[in-house]
Amino acid sequence: MTALSPNDVATPLSGGSQTSKHLKDALFNWGLKGAAALVLIILGAIILLLFRGGFPALQAFGPMFFLSTEWNPVTEEYGAGVMLYGTLVTSFIAMLVAFPASLGIELFLTEVAPQSLRRPIGTAIQLLAAVPSIIYGMWGFFVVTPLMAAWVQPALTAVLGPIPFLGTLFSGPPLGTGIFTAGLILALMIMPFITSMFVEIFNSVPPVLKEAAYGIGATSTEVFRAVTVPYGRVALVGAVMLGLGRALGETMAVTFVIGNANRIKASLYSPGASIASTIANEFPEAGPGSMKLHALLELGLALFVISFIVLALARWLVRSRIEG
């Protein structure tokens, strides 16, 4: 009987080990592909649900569904004009307030604030970004709305009222609730989110660039404008667009303070409605198979398309900045 050499024993074991490694690699690759495919499947299922559910409303009212301001469950007449207007205007107000405020807070944290204050303020901003939206809505309804009615809206009317065009926007009775208040609440919600992203972006700027600018006599403002912002401008666009995407789809906070009225008026103080708030308010009353349910699903599809357009625009801006 011939004895086995060590080489004879090692060969099959080595082959078995390689087979096991190839099997693990194959399972790992298929798992990654499955995870990626799952995202596409979920996205496709959402689009299909919204399209199939909202198609009867689009078929009944045509493209005018997106322009009509009629929303009457009694006569079964539905239009998305009021909701689209409220969604876009409140998001615009939110970005108009949140972007410069976030930029100022970020500049203070990265360039001006002493080290002893940077960590506590940064932690507070991160905590504000994690506050649930319904808490913002309740705080806005019980605290911000009375302040707006008693102090802010009358003061704005007195200052801006005589100015052409602006006087129309800031006219009317100071109700507290309305599109303007909803926009401010959205701004307060997305401001910590955008600020925290700005801080991370500008902290990634190489210190040697700032030190070189300071070395030739630049001030903090000049360093921020000529070095920090240009270095992180691509990421800045992405951060702003992500904040805008959150503002577009916010539901509960807007529902508390927007007034939930299906009409459009020139004054920003007037009550209005957004797509998300209308879906939240009207969905429990929409019966299965009813035209109201189809109209709400079509509203959801419209919000999905708007969010997709914002994302596509953000990617285009980032790509143009990189290539430029």
183-194, pLDDT tens digit by residue?
999 999 999 989
Q: What is the mean predicted confidence (pLDDT) over 46-70?
A: 93
176: its two tokens: 């507290």
**Encoded tokens for 222:** 């000049």
More confident residue, 7 or 24: 24
State the average pLDDT over residues 295-318: 89
The residues, ordered by sequence, that sit 6+ positions from 126 with a Cβ below 8 Å of its Cβ are: 192, 196
Q: 64-323 — its CATH code?
A: 1.10.3720.10
- Amino acid symbol at 195: T
Provide the residue ranges of all domains of the chain, joining segments of one domain with +.
64-323
CA 154 centroid distance within chain: 30
Token readout for 322 is 């990189």
Give residue 3's pLDDT. Answer: 53
| Cα–Cα distance, 6 to 2 (Å, whole number) | 13
Q: What is the pLDDT of residue 209?
A: 87
pLDDT at 157 over 90: yes
* Higher pLDDT among residues 219 and 320, named by residue: 219
Region class of 71: left (phi > 0), else alpha (psi between -120 and 50), else beta: beta
User: In 150-231, which residue ranges form alpha helices assigned H by DSSP?
Assistant: 153-160, 166-169, 179-203, 207-215, 220-223, 229-231
pLDDT in tens, 205-230: 888 988 898 888 888 888 888 888 88
Q: What CA–CA distance (Å, rounded) separates 312 from 137?
A: 29
**Whole-prediction pTM value?**
0.87
